[in-house]
Amino acid sequence: MSDAIPDGTPVAAGGRPLVAIRNVSKQFANGTIAVRDVNLDLAAGEFVSLLGPSGCGKSTLLRMIAGLGDPSVGTIDWMGSAHDAWGKPARELGFVFQDPTLMPWATALDNVVLPLKLAGTNRGEAAARGAEMLSLVGLKGFETSYPRELSGGMKMRVSIARALVTHPQILLMDEPFAALDEITRHKLNDDLLRLWEANRFTAVFVTHSVFESVYLSQRIVVMAARPGRVMADLRVGAPYPRDDMFRTSADYAHWCRIASETLKEAISA
C-alpha cells in the first residue's frame, strides 16, 4: 500500500475514499428490508468493523460491497479502481466467508492459488506466491494437505491466505472466526492484525462480538436490525500494535465499554 497511515488515525477525513456507499437500501424478494439508507466511506488502509446483532444486514452490506447482489436503491462506488466499458469496477478484493469454504478435492496450496488460476497467472508463479502466502499464515509444510486433514483454525488460515494471495486493496471478512474456539480465535485475530500491519490493505470485518471488533479495528460501524441501518460510527483511539498486553489493559476495557454502550443504545433505539 502506498499511503503510510499513522497508527489509530483513519485516513478518510477529506481524502478520497476507496469505496463510497451512498443511500444504499436492499430489499429481498420476500419483502424484507435487509439494509436501509446506508451511507459509508471506506478509506484506503483502514480497519473497519461492522458490528451489530444478527439480522442487522451487516453481511448483506458486505456482500453488496463485494458485488454479490446489487443494492435495490443507492450506489456503491469504487473510487480508487479502474472501470471497464460497462462501468463495472475492477474490484480488487479478497473475501473470507464464515465457513472456510475450501474445495475439499484440492490441496491447501491448490485452494490458495485458485484466484490466481482463475485470473490466468502462470502455474509456476502462482505456486510460488501460494506457498509464500501459506507460510505467511503459519502453514508452511501443509501445502499438500487436504482440507479434511486440517483443523478448523488451519482451514480458516487457508481461507485467509486465498483471500490475500492476489494482494487485494480490500479484504472483506464475514464473521470469519465466529465458529472457532476462543483460544484459536485470539491467535487468528493476532495474525490477522500482523498481516494487516504488514500489508495495509483496507479491512472490513463483520462481527457480532464487541470485544473482537474493539481489539481489531480503528473504526466500528454499529448497526441495528429490522430494518438494518447504521446507528453509530465509532473511532477506537487505541494505538497499534495491539497484542495480549492490550487485551488486558484498561484502555481496551475502556473502549469495550464505550462500544458496548453504543451497541446497547443502537439496539434499543
- Per CB under 8 A, residues contacting other proteins are 63, 66-68, 91, 93, 95, 97, 99, 101, 103-106, 114-115, 117-119, 138-142, 145-151, 153-154, 157, 184, 187, 191
Least distance from other proteins to the Cβ atom of residue 67, Å: 7
What share of residues in the chain are helix, strand, coil (percent, to 5)?
35, 20, 40
DSSP secondary structure letter of residue 148: G
Do the Cβ atoms of 97 and 162 come closer than 8 Å?
no
Do the Cβ atoms of 29 and 36 come closer than 8 Å?
no
For other proteins, the closer of residues 117 and 247 by Cβ is 117
Nearest to 28 by CA among 52, 53, 63: 63
For other proteins, the closer of residues 78 and 255 by Cβ is 78
Least distance from other proteins to the Cβ atom of residue 149, Å: 6
For other proteins, the closer of residues 99 and 233 by Cβ is 99
Least distance from other proteins to the Cβ atom of residue 166, Å: 8
Do the Cβ atoms of 126 and 120 come closer than 8 Å?
no
Q: 35 forms bridges with which residues in the sheet? A: 26
Least distance from other proteins to the Cβ atom of residue 25, Å: 21
For other proteins, the closer of residues 149 and 261 by Cβ is 149
For other proteins, the closer of residues 148 and 248 by Cβ is 148
- Strands (DSSP E) along the chain, which ranges? 19-27, 33-42, 47-51, 73-78, 93-96, 170-174, 202-207, 219-224, 229-235
How many other β-carbons are positioned within 10 Å of the β-carbon of residue 139?
22
Least distance from other proteins to the Cβ atom of residue 78, Å: 14
For other proteins, the closer of residues 203 and 259 by Cβ is 203
C-alpha cell at 220: 466500528
Least distance from other proteins to the Cβ atom of residue 94, Å: 9
Q: How far apart are CA 12 and CA 14, in angstroms?
A: 6
Contacts for 265 with CB less than 8 Å, ≥ 6 apart: 231, 232
Do the Cβ atoms of 37 and 231 come closer than 8 Å?
no
